[in-house]
Amino acid sequence: MRDGVDLSVDLLLPRSPGPFPTIFLRTPYENSSRRFLERGLWWARNGYAFVSGDCRGRYESGGTFTPYHSDASDGQDTLEWISKQSWSNGKIGMAGQSYGAIIQWLTAPFRHPSLKALAPHVICDEYFSNCHYVGGAFQLGLSIMAAVTFSTNPTIPEMPEVFDHGKTFNHLPLIDMDLETIGQKIPFYRQWLEHSTYDDYWQTIDTSKQYNQIDVPVFIRAGWFDAYPDAAFRMWNGMRENARSEQSRNNQKLIIGPWTHAEPTGTKLGDLDFGPNSYRVILEEELRWFNYWLKGVDNELVEEPPIHLFVMGTNHWRYEHEWPLARTEFTPYYFHSQGQANSSNSDGILNLERPTAESTDQYQYDPEKPVPSIGGNLSTASWPWTEKGENPIVAGPVDQRTLEKRPDILVYTSSPLEKDLEVTGPLKVILFAASTASDTDFTARLVDVYPDGNAIFLAEGIRRARFRNGFEKEELLKPNKVERYCIELYPTSNVFLKGHRIRVDISSSNFPRFSRNLNTGEDVGTGTRLQIAHQTIFHDRDYPSHIILPLIPE
């Protein structure tokens, strides 16, 4: 590298004369592991040189690993090295998902002349509000699990032994959770907590502000139940509108299916089977992409509409040209009750009628008894944690009825639908609420209620009260003052079938995916005091709480 540090790469070549186009990826997850070697063999058999590298400070690479902050220059230096090798024909495509996709977005603005195409899958390009502080709430499970993985190299089966069930996640203060887990400080984990607003630490690595510096075609793969489907569409739009050249702006591709973070291996997820048509082999999709851009194979790729999305409910694939869809009818569905919306046996109603004079709904949020993360938009397939040491917490479309029995969840449900209703696009809850606390959280979930009572998760969101007006600074609450909260849920595409009902669940915790709000207004990293918050949700003429659904006409 330019600073003299040596980084390790593995190279696999086809059994034929070169030079070759190259697929390059870098990972913090051991580039010499079986999965990366098998992937390299696959690419080599398809006529590509394959270069996989250990990130700086990981496994066989020198230096110190600090997530995000050295990957851009390291990526650029490795592209330069590849382009000068005798086996390289000077055409390079970058591939990889999750952290392997982060490296692509960080490297792309440097515009190395040999970089011809990207395939960054299931990731964001802004690491504050779309990763570590979603809606301002610290994404605890992901952050501590990533920090420990990047520091101790455990395998996934070893994770439950590293994380002592509820003991780890319940530990306070959060900044010492590294000591509680592995007995040593993790500097970058502590930096994430010390930089608890969108400050220079995060802004300097925010690729979402650099689309105009990127000049390559990009293929994005996302999952409706991953933690980054909103980012996928934001990045796609950002590149379509602002990429450096017309060729780049016109050659952005996105595929999104009923998946989580991992590549799909079947048709089942959570409590649903999406049918044989839902399955896609992502490597085959990547091969078409790189064959076109690196080999010049005329496979009609660019003639296809740029977005390929899976519509749940009716379980079919459809091509689209823009996001949100031009034909979308953004429609508010309002919350109603007579003050007893607590739990699924409540009088909470969801409909198109704007409220007038109605009672408020109230519940008590106790950080000692948070709502557990059952189902949801997760970037890990499951959590190695429950209060009893079991492991039922899985990602995706999971039945919510167990949670909806809790008195600290408000449930608003529509009447059975008289005909199919498609909801495809971004989702937003506008919530008018007051709290006795100086800081607290509000969460929202969209649920598809089946005729048999199954309440299947579709999308979720969270908003930390101190960030209700933006992420650059914190503003604590005045107790019992009504405030407006915009809770952005992850996007979805689902047909609520005839006889189904639409449901919205409102609460104040989603743990351990997100850290518990202690309700005291203390610093997120060093706070230790817990107090109960009494929450009041309004839905009347002046404060019409509602969800905005992106309806797609027939």
Q: Which of 52, 70, 88, 98 is catalytic?
A: 98
Pairwise CA distance, residues 289 & 302, whole Å:
9
Pairwise CA distance, residues 553 & 136, whole Å:
34
Q: How far is CA 33 from the centre of its chain?
A: 25
Token pair belonging to 206: 């925010």
Pairwise CA distance, residues 163 & 167, whole Å:
8
CA 128 to each of CA 102, 207, 381, 470: distance values in angstroms, whole numbers, following the listed order: 13, 12, 22, 12
Question: What is the SS3 string spanning 519-553?
Answer: CCCCCCCCCCCCCCEEEEEEECCCCECEEEEEEEC
Q: Are residues 233 and 243 in contact, defined by beta-carbon separation less than 8 angstroms?
A: no
Q: Output the CA torsion sign for 100, 263, 324, 351.
A: negative
- Contact residues for 540 (Cβ-Cβ < 8 A; gap 6+): 355, 356, 357, 358, 360
Provide the β-strand partners of residue 141.
Answer: none
Provide the β-strand partners of residue 20.
Answer: 88
AA letter at 81: W
Q: Which of 54, 71, 125, 226 is catalytic?
A: 226
> Going by DSSP bridges, is the β-strand pair 533-538/410-413 parallel, antiparallel, or unpaired?
unpaired
Contacts of the segment 179-183: beta carbons below 8 A, 24+ positions apart: 181/144, 181/148, 182/148, 182/151, 182/152
Q: Vertex 43, ends 42 and 49: CA angle to 5°?
A: 140
**What are the φ and ψ backbone dihedral angles of 520, each rounded to 5 degrees?**
-105, -15
Pairwise CA distance, residues 394 & 513, whole Å:
11
Token pair belonging to 60: 């066989």
- Cβ-in-10-Å burial (0-12, 13-18, 19+) of 124 comes to buried
Task: Return the H-helix or E-strand segment holding 41.
Answer: helix 34-45
Token pair belonging to 522: 């203390």
Token pair belonging to 445: 């979930």
Strands (DSSP E) found in 159-236: 218-223
The radius of gyration computed from the CA coordinates of the chain, to the nearest angstrom, equals 24
Whether 112 sits among the annotated catalytic residues: the reply is no
Q: Are residues 397 and 494 in contact, defined by beta-carbon separation less than 8 angstroms?
A: no
Pairwise CA distance, residues 396 & 393, whole Å:
10
Q: Which of 112, 121, 261, 336 is catalytic?
A: 261
Nearest to 439 by CA among 303, 312, 541, 535: 535
Whether 98 sits among the annotated catalytic residues: the reply is yes
3-state helix, strand, coil split of the chain in percent (to 5) is: 25, 30, 45
Pairwise CA distance, residues 393 & 381, whole Å:
9
Which residues are marked as active site? 98, 226, 261
